Amino acid sequence: MANSDLIVKFWGTRGSIPSSMQPGEWSRHFEALIKGFFASGHKDPSEVAAYLGKMETPLVGGYGSSTTCVEVRSPRSQLIIDGGSGIRLLSERIMSGAVAGGKGPFHIYMTHYHWDHVIGLPFFTPHFLPGVQVHYYAVHPELESLIRGIFKKPYFPVPFESLPANIKFHVLEPRKPFQIEDMTLTPYKLDHPDPCWGLRVESGKASYAHCVDTEGTRVSREDMGEDLPLYQNADLMYFDAQYTFPELADKANWGHSAAQIGLDIAIREEVKQVLFAHHDPGASVQTIEEIRAQTREYYNWRIQSAKDSGSGASAVAWDFAHEGMEIHL
């Protein structure tokens, strides 16, 4: 915590619906790992942990099954962005007492209300703790009725009215900064079929741009207009890359983007680091690795052609996010 103005933790990085590889796919994945262990000359089972430990986390354990939930912590506050199924894992951490500020108040910002962003909310245990403060924030004026609807019988056995927590709703003005302790939060509009409001979070010298879900249809500065400050000079941008670049043409107006679109924005707006997410529910480790390789090819070409033309392009650190990833800014 010391020396970090913001810590961003990703509790769910899938899109659309929680999903994992099927048992058969996992079996083939483990078979390949075991073959790799022996093929690299290892024989002793005591070397397994060290062998796997040297590999990148998702190459061993995958990218995770949970949908969007991001925790942002500053020295004095904590914010949760969206209540996808990943919020259950965060909730368990909070209840275990392992999280600073585990007694609340809790602040939850809603980008929008598609199933994959609300499905975990009934499983956020602080709702069931008497007197605990839970604050919801969103740009949508119908925030309260939308959240109440998630707890409606017979979709969920405990009606909203019976929840013992002290739950408050705060409707925000678009593009107008608001403050939670030492965090400044500003909602900006993304490109999505139902209105989806991304968020810029700033604390101290650090900035985080939350850009999921978005299709990235407005690419030029002119088209982005008053939503441009979401991206500019962000230390970390979290961007929707559910599809491959060729898939985008077939899936126009579905509301999701590709890594190449995010990279173009990041390079132009001098974003320092990008994490791509909202992984397709059908994407295996192998699929995401292939998309990652295509992205690497595009990025290298993009930087090289800028060099060749003498126009210059600022380097961007980028990767694909996996569940449990934590970034210190």
Our CB check for Zn ion shows the closer of 213 and 269 to be: 213
β-partners of residue 210 are 199, 238
Our CB check for Zn ion shows the closer of 29 and 278 to be: 278
Least separation in angstroms between CB 110 and Zn ion: 11
Our CB check for Zn ion shows the closer of 5 and 213 to be: 213
Strand, helix or coil for residue 52: helix
Stretch that binds Zn ion, among 116-124, 174-182, 183-191, 231-239 (CB under 5 A): 116-124
Strand pairing class (133-138; 166-171): parallel
β-partners of residue 189 are 197
Contact of 238 with 210, CB cutoff 8 Å:
yes
Judged by CB under 5 A, the residue of 88, 114, 210, 322 near Zn ion is 114
Least separation in angstroms between CB 84 and Zn ion: 7
Name residues contacting Zn ion, limited to 206-225 (CB under 5 A): 213
Stretch that binds Zn ion, among 12-20, 70-78, 163-171, 243-251 (CB under 5 A): 12-20
Stretch that binds Zn ion, among 8-16, 70-78, 146-154, 171-179 (CB under 5 A): 8-16
Stretch that binds Zn ion, among 2-10, 15-23, 143-151, 163-171 (CB under 5 A): 15-23
Stretch that binds Zn ion, among 28-36, 112-120, 198-206, 290-298 (CB under 5 A): 112-120
Our CB check for Zn ion shows the closer of 90 and 313 to be: 90
Our CB check for Zn ion shows the closer of 202 and 213 to be: 213
Our CB check for Zn ion shows the closer of 197 and 318 to be: 197
- Using CB under 5 A as the binding rule, whether residue 240 contacts Zn ion is answered as no
State how far the Cα of 104 lies from the Cα of 118, in Å rounded to an integer.
20
To 10 degrees, the CA torsion angle through 293, 282, 12, 4?
0
Taking CB under 5 A as the rule, which mask of x and - marks residues 159-198 in contact with Zn ion? ----------------------------------------
State how far the Cα of 147 lies from the Cα of 296, in Å rounded to an integer.
40
Least separation in angstroms between CB 112 and Zn ion: 6
Cα angle: 196, vertex 106, 116; to 5 degrees = 35
State how far the Cα of 24 lies from the Cα of 3, in Å rounded to an integer.
44
Buried b (16+ CB within 10 A) or exposed e, 88-111: bbbbeebeeeebeeeebbbbbbbb
Judged by CB under 5 A, the residue of 82, 116, 191, 235 near Zn ion is 116
Contact of 144 with 180, CB cutoff 8 Å:
no
Q: The dihedral of CA 288, 289, 291, 295: what is its sign?
A: positive
Sites of contact with Zn ion (CB under 5 A): 15, 114, 116, 213
